Amino acid sequence: MSVEGAALGAFAYLIQPLFDDLFSAGSMSGVGWVALAISGVFVLRAVAGFGQRLIVVAVGLKVTTGLQSRLVGHLLSLDLGYFRDTPPGALIERVRGDTLALQGLASNVVMSLGRDTITFVSLLTVMFVNDWRWTLLALIGLPLLVLPVVALQRYIRTTTTASREAAARLSGQLDEMFHGIQSIKLNRLERHETDRFGAEVGHFLKQAIRAQRGMAANPAMIDIIAAAGFVAVLYYGGAQIIAGEKTVGQFMSFFTALALIFDPLRRLSNIAGQLQAGLASLERLYEVLEARPTILPPANPRPVVPGEIRFEDVEFGYEGTPVLRGLSFTAEAERTTAIVGPSGAGKTTVFGLLTRLVDPAGGRITLAGTEIGALDLDGLRDAIAVVGQETALFDTTIAGNIRLGRLDATPEEVRAAAEAASVLEFADALPLGLDTPVGPRGSALSGGQRQRVAIARAMLKAAPILLLDEPTSALDARSEQLVQEALKRLSAGRTTLVIAHRLSTIRDADRILVLDKGRVIEQGSHAELMAANGAYARLEALQSAGVLPPL
Ligand SMILES: Nc1ncnc2c1ncn2[C@@H]1O[C@H](COP(=O)(O)OP(=O)(O)OP(=O)(O)O)[C@@H](O)[C@H]1O
């Protein structure tokens, strides 16, 4: 850094003997020596600059990628609610865009601060040694810049923050768009979405240009001061040369240093602006790092013992809208309890509470007599296997997706789970079998195939508690029958809660809970509920007659 910075000072310094001693004396060998010295200075500068850039960029990249990993680790520890409130695109922009902005800034500032300060000082020394009056005259305007530069900082901070927010909205829109590509195509919304994106890009562009305008104003002001300095020295120094008080070599050496000093000065004046821009990104990263999960393991966690699940007067709501209103029920250990009820009754919410993705606002949820909030959180989630309505598959192979149920499972265990969930039925017909990639979010599989992979994953997990949310809704009649049999085998000896819209799939359940508006309005076995001739019996009659679609 210092070599690179000092090189320009040495270069400017060598100009004077070149003009005054060598040119006037006509010494060609002397010129050759100075040329050699100048070449040496530049080669040294090139080597030092290359090494410095490499080191600074490598360190910057290391810090940024480390920060990205830390951010992701932290994000994954946050509550589900955080992800509901912050769109995925905005989070991606923070993990990628904001850290990269910070990296650019760090590299620029470190390079500029080191190299440009040394260049500035060495050139200033050459100028002072040459003529301190000329130096003062050339740089007298600089203090005038202090106030405008300070005023600019606020502007840069606000505009950069707005531009980073606009970038996050852009990423959010792209994420939604590519996720919803099928709906876009089927509803012929390509044009509409392109226009919507265009409007957002336009907004981003406006903000980004405003931010750049602030950043570009600093060097522009330096240029104006530079011009004034040049003119003043030209007049004052020119007169001295004409009067014979100064030599052309002194003037050329000074002028070279003066011409070279404004470049590092421009970059140094930019640092404050860049810092403001970086702080805007840093602020957004801190917002993420400062977010704390509210669903935490207890200080002295109790070990998880499988057993009966009880909900006692459980209250829960989203942003003030109640979903569960005093929900009470018991799911007996090693038995199957079915939950039925109209859409929005709060059935899936029961699973969220049981797995502690959300915590209740009131009441108690116990497992084998212990409140689940007092249990070891990892142990609780290990004890539960969930097959949800939407299957989250990752862009790996079928086997890789099944193995997510238990990462240390052997290939034989994975294959056995695949067989039990009727995955082999379709996987064996594929050239790569279980090693077939499933595509992004499992897009290369059908809905029913994805569901079977999810069931295989739950089978591999072999947890004592099983939560099934409409596990066979995407299956055709034949696969459904196969999977139902597999689920029956799986749920034997496990505490199972199953949500179903088609009452025909849960007739064998040990107990059926009928949920409505966040409360249990009826419960019993299929036979008992039919005999009671209440809400369940009415729905059963309508569904079996085909009058009513499944609940
Ligand atoms: N993230 C959320 N933010 C706000 N409200 C929510 C959220 N998730 C669910 N709800 C609301 O909570 C209520 C219960 O939802 P839940 O998913 O438990 O119903 P459900 O009985 O499982 O319905 P379905 O049978 O349609 O799956 C619904 O009215 C829904 O609008």
484-513 tens-digit pLDDT: 777 887 888 899 999 988 887 888 889 999
Could you tell me the residue ranges of all domains in the chain?
2-290, 300-383+497-551
What single DSSP character describes residue 387? E
What pLDDT shows up at residue 332?
A: 93
Q: Are strands 511-516 and 362-367 parallel, antiparallel or unpaired?
A: unpaired
Task: Tell me the mean pLDDT in the region 10-15.
Answer: 70
164-175 tens-digit pLDDT: 889 989 998 998
Task: Tell me the mean pLDDT in the region 64-69.
Answer: 90
**345 Cβ closer than 6 Å to some ligand 1 atom:** yes
Confidence of residue 3 (pLDDT cuts 50, 70, 90): low
The residue to mutate among 347, 467, 470, 473, having the most atoms of ligand 1 within 8 angstroms of its beta carbon, is 347
Contact 414, 403 (CB under 8 A): yes
- What is this model's ipTM? 0.94
Residues 6+ apart with CB under 8 A from 400: 394
The residue to mutate among 86, 318, 514, having the most atoms of ligand 1 within 8 angstroms of its beta carbon, is 318
What pLDDT shows up at residue 485?
A: 78
Instruction: Supply the residue whose CA is at minimum distance from atom 4 of ligand 1.
Output: 318
- Rounded to the nearest integer, the mean pLDDT of the chain is 85
Task: Tell me the mean pLDDT in the region 238-256.
Answer: 81
Structural tokens at position 178: 């590519």
Looking at 63-67, 327-331, 333-337, 479-483, which range is the least confident one? 479-483
With a cut of 60, say whether residue 548 has pLDDT above it.
Answer: no
**Dihedral of CA 443/448/451/455: which sign?**
negative
Which one of 127-131, 177-181, 307-311 scores highest in mean pLDDT? 307-311
Same fold, 2-290 and 300-383+497-551: no
What pLDDT shows up at residue 7?
A: 66
Instruction: Supply the residue whose CA is at minimum distance from atom 17 of ligand 1.
Output: 348
Q: Length of the chain, please?
A: 551
Q: Is the domain defined by 300-383+497-551 classed in CATH 3.40.50.300?
A: yes
Instruction: Supply the residue whose CA is at minimum distance from atom 31 of ligand 1.
Output: 344
Structural tokens at position 279: 């702080």
With a cut of 60, say whether residue 549 has pLDDT above it.
Answer: no
What pLDDT shows up at residue 6?
A: 66
CATH architecture of 2-290: Up-down Bundle (1.20)
The rounded distance, in Å, linking the Cα atoms of 34 and 22 is 9
Give 117 or 332, the one with higher predicted confidence. 332
Q: Which helix (H) or strand (E) holds 513?
A: strand 511-516
Q: 262 alpha carbon to ligand 1 midpoint, in Å?
A: 63
Q: 465 alpha carbon to ligand 1 midpoint, in Å?
A: 22
User: Which own/partner pairs from 94-98 qualify as long-range (CB within 8 Å, at least 24 positions apart)?
Assistant: 94/168, 94/284, 94/285, 94/288, 95/68, 95/71, 96/68, 97/164, 97/167, 97/168, 97/171, 97/281, 98/164, 98/281, 98/282, 98/284, 98/285
Q: Which atom of ligand 1 is nearest to the CA of 349?
A: 18
Confidence of residue 242 (pLDDT cuts 50, 70, 90): confident
444-478 tens-digit pLDDT: 888 888 888 998 999 899 899 999 988 777 677 77
